[in-house]
Chains A and B, each alone.
Chain A
Amino acid sequence: MWNPWLNRYAYLLAIATLLLVVAGASVTSNEAGLSVPDWPLSYGKLMPEMTGGIFYEHGHRMIATTVGFLSIFLAVWLWRVESRGWLKKLGLAALGAVIFQGLLGGLTVLYLLPKPVSISHACLAQVFFSCTMAIALFTSKGWLHGAPEVEDSGGISLRSLAVGTPVVLLGQLALGAGYRHKAIGLIWHILGAVIATGVVLFFAVSVLSYFQSHRPLRRTAVALLSITFAQVFLGVGAYMSRIATLEAPQPMPLMVWFTVIHVAVGALTMGTAVLLGIQVLRYVRRPRLEVEARQMATT
């Protein structure tokens, strides 16, 4: 049975997590990652003076703590009221991920921004955000009521793209994080953007072409396409703002805001691709011929 408050709460957690991604990106863009040298306290206090870079770093910690508590409450709520065992486990997994994320954040401060840890911290943030979006989907009325199943058209399997697209996007987000943390050059992120955009376009346009009349699939595919276009524009904007402010004292607000929004919309792109992937895996059946062939092979 649909629990509207649980669903609203899951949305709240997803929105809070997106805000957390914005806060985290602001820390990196404002070069404030080490403005608070200690962890878990800040200057030995729960609430230091919020000045300069401390505003971004400690603000990030405060929002992260809030998201942590929200995640604990969601995991407990799911455990108590949810009948689907796998969703209970997903709630626990999300909680584990956010705890691990907090530890990575601490390590990145204590060990002065080691690149592998900082990049893992950035990537896990995106995975956790996708997880919260998925929980919001799984607890939604539309998901519980379901929708008609449709058959995959064959050719390049949509079910494969459903898994592959989020993986490609995660790779692209890792390249972006690698560039931001100065582990790799920008060219790799640009090349990744070309590939990721191509894969997303192919996936979303295929879904729209074949299942135009399937409301949940159509809505998510349109959302994914729209967000991806915005993301490409923001990526170009982030690059141009960096070039335009190259000679100015850094960090310049124009560059900071373009980059922060680019990171946040990147998280939304990944989360929406995950949702579309989940919906495809649920609603799109394998082609009948493929199923028959598999059955014959097993017999």
Chain B
Amino acid sequence: MDATPACAKQHKGPIYSEDAVINANGTLKNAFVYIKSGLAKRDYPVPPAPVKLDQKGCIYVPHVVGVMVNQTLEISNSDDTNHNIHPMPKENREWNESQPPKGDVKVKTFPKEEVPPILFKCNVHPWMRAWVGVVSHPYFAVSGEEGTFTLKDVPPGEYMVGAWHERFGVKEVKVKVEAKQSLTADITFSAN
């Protein structure tokens, strides 16, 4: 990043890779968690609010994000330098578009479910990576600073909950949700 002053000047200290962020309490940040199976087959309404992905300090923010199929993803560039946004999906259409400094927000949707999440690159700045998980229902989340996640308003039933992490792979846990029940499920990744 030092070779690109427009990026380096936005950071006072060293920049660390976000491919494995362990929180202070020993939990794991940036795991994409979603209901993998068990949901009734139906069309879930797509939230009208867009999900936002920014490029700030030549880093994608947030590093991992989830959207529903056909939900709007707004990608912005808060930097004083060019970026190119290059998602590399397996199921959806690949594209590669430039975005000038503080340029217009790009509005994109993904018509097909895709987990493991889609890798977003910027070929101008090869260290930039983001992951966008695309699911057909609203029951997904990304683990945060406390290593926690919340899947809200899940209907009663038995489900397989999947968790994906870019470095540590995939884990699954089976849960049974009763009506009006709050349930806690722990998912543990191994560094090996």
Taking beta carbons and an 8 Å cutoff, which residues of A are in contact with B?
30-38, 43, 48-49, 51-54, 57, 112, 249-251
Residues 69-105 (chain B) with a chain A CB within 8 angstroms: 81-82, 84, 86, 94-98, 100
Q: Find A34's partner among B4, B96, B100, B127 (CB 8 Å cutoff).
A: B96
A34 B126 Cβ-Cβ under 8 A: no
Instruction: Give the size category of B's interface with A.
Output: 20 to 34
Look across to chain B and name the residue whose beta carbon is closest to the beta carbon of A250: B126
A53-B125 Cα distance, complex, nearest whole Å: 6
Knowing A52-B4, A112-B94, A249-B17, the reply to whether A34 touches B81 (Cβ < 8 A) is no
A31 B96 Cβ-Cβ under 8 A: no
Look across to chain B and name the residue whose beta carbon is closest to the beta carbon of A43: B98
B97 A32 Cβ-Cβ under 8 A: no
Contacts of B98 in A (CB 8 A): 36-38, 43
Taking beta carbons and an 8 Å cutoff, which residues of B are in contact with A?
3-4, 6-7, 17, 81-82, 84, 86, 94-98, 100, 121, 123-127
A112 B96 Cβ-Cβ under 8 A: yes
Q: Is the interface of B mostly helix, strand, loop or mixed?
A: loop
Contacts of A48 in B (CB 8 A): 82
Q: Find A53's partner among B7, B17, B97, B124 (CB 8 Å cutoff).
A: B124
- Most A CB contacts (10 A, CB to CB) among B6, B17, B96 go to B96
A51 B126 Cβ-Cβ under 8 A: no
Closest 4 CB pairs of A and B: A35-B123, A52-B124, A34-B123, A35-B124
A200-B72 Cα distance, complex, nearest whole Å: 57
A/B pair count, beta carbons within 8 Å: 55
Contact sample, A vs B, 6 pairs, CB 8 Å cutoff: A31-B126, A33-B123, A34-B84, A43-B82, A52-B81, A57-B123
A35 B84 Cβ-Cβ under 8 A: yes
List 8 other contacts, CB 8 Å, given A51-B81, A52-B125: A32-B124, A32-B126, A34-B86, A37-B84, A52-B82, A52-B124, A52-B126, A57-B123
Contacts of A54 in B (CB 8 A): 82, 124
A30-B127 Cα distance, complex, nearest whole Å: 10
A31-B124 Cα distance, complex, nearest whole Å: 9
Look across to chain A and name the residue whose beta carbon is closest to the beta carbon of B58: A52
A36-B124 Cα distance, complex, nearest whole Å: 8
A70-B7 Cα distance, complex, nearest whole Å: 37
CB distance from A256 to the nearest CB of B (A): 10
A112-B7 Cα distance, complex, nearest whole Å: 25
CB distance from B142 to the nearest CB of A (A): 21
Contacts of B82 in A (CB 8 A): 43, 48-49, 51-52, 54
Look across to chain B and name the residue whose beta carbon is closest to the beta carbon of A33: B123
A249-B1 Cα distance, complex, nearest whole Å: 11
A37 B125 Cβ-Cβ under 8 A: no
Contacts of B3 in A (CB 8 A): 52
CB distance from A46 to the nearest CB of B (A): 16
Knowing A51-B81, A51-B124, the reply to whether A37 touches B94 (Cβ < 8 A) is no
Contacts of A38 in B (CB 8 A): 98
A37-B124 Cα distance, complex, nearest whole Å: 10
Contacts of B125 in A (CB 8 A): 52-53
B4 A51 Cβ-Cβ under 8 A: yes
Knowing A52-B4, A112-B94, the reply to whether A251 touches B86 (Cβ < 8 A) is no
Knowing A37-B97, A51-B81, the reply to whether A32 touches B123 (Cβ < 8 A) is yes
CB distance from A135 to the nearest CB of B (A): 35
A20-B81 Cα distance, complex, nearest whole Å: 27
Look across to chain A and name the residue whose beta carbon is closest to the beta carbon of B7: A52
